[in-house]
């Protein structure tokens, strides 16, 4: 889909054209679902949040006046995820073992690049470990690290999506990375060889 096609679809969707909006849904649904999954940490709730976010987006199409649809949509997705996180504040987070042993409907499916079963299992375990680490962060840190490090958004885009200043993006991101580094260092025997951290010098001070 070319940018010209997308702008036509956006214009049509702004006039209430549902099939045009659904073309945009098909283009962005994987991105939206992945962001929701990494923030919420649960595939079922992520699916619900993604669906809710698309409904909100369609209703709010009249308010979209920018040129870039992606950050606008991701803003709605992250806000919906915040609502879900607030609603489930009292629920305990999963343990690492739970995260690594998810089965059945709660087990997310990964894109298959044609790898063997061993590699697939390795990727699945890596994903579970990353997700468990992300789940240990607070809500604001989660959103920033998911957008910047997992989905590759720039600081400016992240600032626009989360409606925060660039300085706040930097500080939240650095705190999230430092916290995650510490968590993963404690469980680095679970990491694949190439991702294991260099030996930690306990004498060195860490300025966070």
Partner 1 sequence: MKPPLTISDELLSAYIDHQIGEAELQRVEMALAAEPALQQRLEALKATVALLQQAPSLVAPRAFVLSENQVLAAGGTVKGVKQPSFWDKWLPRLMPAATAVIAVLFLFSFALTPQGAGNLSPVTTTQETAVVPMARGLPAEESQPAAMGDDEELAAPKSFSTEQRGAAAIIATDSVEDEAKASEAPGVATGRAAPGGAEAADEAEAAAPPPETKSVSVMAAEDSETTAAIAETEPHTPRVSWVTWLLGLLLVLFGFLSWKVTLGRSHAD
By CB under 8 A, which span of 47-55, 66-74, 79-87, 93-101 interacts with partner 1? 47-55
Q: Is 141 in the site for partner 1 (CB under 8 A)?
A: no
How many Cβ atoms from other residues are within 10 Å of residue 195's Cβ? 12
Write the binding mask 2 to 31 for partner 1: x where contact by CB under 8 A, - elsewhere.
Answer: -------------xxxx--xx--xx--xx-
CA angle 51, 59, 108 (to 5 degrees): 10
Residues 6+ apart with CB under 8 A from 34: 150, 151
Q: Is 203 in the site for partner 1 (CB under 8 A)?
A: yes
Q: How far is the CB of 162 from partner 1 (least distance, A)?
A: 16
Give residues 77-116 in contact with partner 1 (rule: CB under 8 A).
Answer: 108-111
Burial grade of 143 (CB within 10 A; 0-12, 13-18, 19 or more): buried
- Give the C-alpha distances (Å, rounded to integers) separating 100 from 76, 83, 93, 128: 29, 26, 13, 5
Secondary structure (3-state) at 15: coil
Q: What is the DSSP letter of 104?
A: G
Q: Is 119 in the site for partner 1 (CB under 8 A)?
A: no
Q: How far is the CB of 152 from partner 1 (least distance, A)?
A: 7
Q: How far is the CB of 113 from partner 1 (least distance, A)?
A: 9
Q: What is the DSSP letter of 160?
A: H
Q: Which residues bind partner 1 (CB under 8 A)?
A: 15-18, 21-22, 25-26, 29-30, 32-34, 37-38, 43, 47, 50-51, 54-55, 58-59, 108-111, 123-124, 126-127, 130, 145, 148-150, 152, 155, 170-171, 173-175, 177-178, 180-181, 184-185, 191, 195-201, 203-208
């Amino acid at each position: 889909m070319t940018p010209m096609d997308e702008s036509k679809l956006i214009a049509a969707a702004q006039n209430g054209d549902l099939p045009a909006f659904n073309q945009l849904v098909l283009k962005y649904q994987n991105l939206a679902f992945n962001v929701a999954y990494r923030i919420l940490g649960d595939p079922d709730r992520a699916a619900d949040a993604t669906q809710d976010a698309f409904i909100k987006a369609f209703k709010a199409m009249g308010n979209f006046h920018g040129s870039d649809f992606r950050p606008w949509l991701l803003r709605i997705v992250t806000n919906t995820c915040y609502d879900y996180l607030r609603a489930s504040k009292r629920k305990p987070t999963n343990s690492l073992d739970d995260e690594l042993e998810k089965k059945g409907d709660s087990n997310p499916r990964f894109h298959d690049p044609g790898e063997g079963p061993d590699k697939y299992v390795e990727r699945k375990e890596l994903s579970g470990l990353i997700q468990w680490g992300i789940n240990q962060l607070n809500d604001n840190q989660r959103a920033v690290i998911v957008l910047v490090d997992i989905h590759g958004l720039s600081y400016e885009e992240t600032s626009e999506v989360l409606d925060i200043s660039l300085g706040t993006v930097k500080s939240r991101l650095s705190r999230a990375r430092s916290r995650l580094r510490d968590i993963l260092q404690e469980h680095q025997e679970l990491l694949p060889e190439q991702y294991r951290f260099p030996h930690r010098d306990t004498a060195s001070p860490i300025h966070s």
